[in-house]
Amino acid sequence: MNLSFTLNGEATTVDAPPNMPLLWVLREKLQLTGTKFGCGIAACGACTVHINGIATRTCVLPAAAVDGAEIKTIEGVASKSGKLSAVQAAWIDHQAPQCGYCQSGMVMAAEALLDQNPEPSDEDIDNAITNICRCGTYESVRTAIHAAARARRGA
């Protein structure tokens, strides 16, 4: 079927089976490979994107469910001119990624958290960021989220 949605700010139409998970539509039909396949059962968070501003795991989300939605992927986080978001900049400042495979999902989860909660506590972060990282970047990720929160608040 033909699906239409806003993808990283641009009107997009794609022909995909309605049951195909959004993850594979993004990766294979639209060649946006920044969103990753990790588990296929929404357990690890590597496939996290924003659907209407909500951090959503896309490996089990049928494409038909996002018809008409506003979708943001990791490729749409920096500005069109390439200026990094506060979260991305903090990620670099704190050298958060290691292998990097889970980090697109981590960044998307962190962006959504800060959109909703500009000053999250450690407990807020624990509850919101449940992504798995096998490289154990958690401490750097936590530090980077706090730093990004401060930067976004202009503190």
Partner 1 sequence: MSEEKTNGRNIGKIARRTFLASAGVVGGGVALGLALSPNRLKIYQDSVADGNETILNTWVKLTPDNKITVIIPHSEMGQGVGTGLAQMLAEEMEADWETVSIEQAPATDEYINSDLGRGYIVGEGARIPAFAYPMLDFAFLQIAKGAVGQITGGSTAIRLTGYHGMRRAGAAAREMLMRAAAKEWNVPINSVRAQSSILYHDASNRSAPFGTFAAAAAKFAPNLKPAMKSPADYKIVGTPKSRLDIPEKVTGEAKFGMDIIVPGMKYAAIAQAPVYGARAASVVDPANAAQQIVNLGNAVVVVADSYWEAANSLQQLDIAWSGGDLALSSIALRALHNEHLTETRHEQVMDKAGDAKAKLQSTETISVEYAVPYLAHATMEPMNCTALVRDGKCELWVGHQNPIAARDDAAAALGLKKTNVIVHNAYLGGGFGRRSSTDNVVQAALVAAETGTPVKLIWSREQDMSNDFYRPATVSRMRGRVEDGKISAIDHAYVFSDAGMPDSERPFAFQYDVPNRRIARHPYESPIPVGAWRSVDFTQMGFFNESFMDELAHKAGADPLAFRLAHKSDPRHRAVLERLADEASWGRPRTPGAAQGVAIVDSFETIVGQVAEITIDDDQRVRLHRMTSVVDCGQVINPSAAEAQIHSSLIFALSAVFFGEITLENGEIVQQNFPDYDMIRLRNAPVQPVIFMDSNLPPGGLGEPGTPPAAPALTNAIFAASGIRVRELPLIRAGFRSV
Site residues (vs partner 1, CB under 8 A): 17, 20-21, 24, 27-29, 31-41, 43-44, 46, 73-75, 77-78, 84, 88, 91-92, 95-104, 107, 125-127, 129-142
Spatial separation of the C-alpha atoms in residues 51 and 66, rounded to whole Å? 8
Least CB distance to partner 1 at residue 126 (A): 4
Q: How do strand 70-72 and strand 48-51 relate by DSSP bridges?
A: antiparallel
Nearer to partner 1, 69 or 89 (CB): 89
Spatial separation of the C-alpha atoms in residues 4 and 100, rounded to whole Å? 30
Least CB distance to partner 1 at residue 94 (A): 9
Mind spelling out the 3-state secondary structure of 57-70? ECCCCEHHHHCCCE
Residue with tokens 């990790």: 38
Least CB distance to partner 1 at residue 137 (A): 7
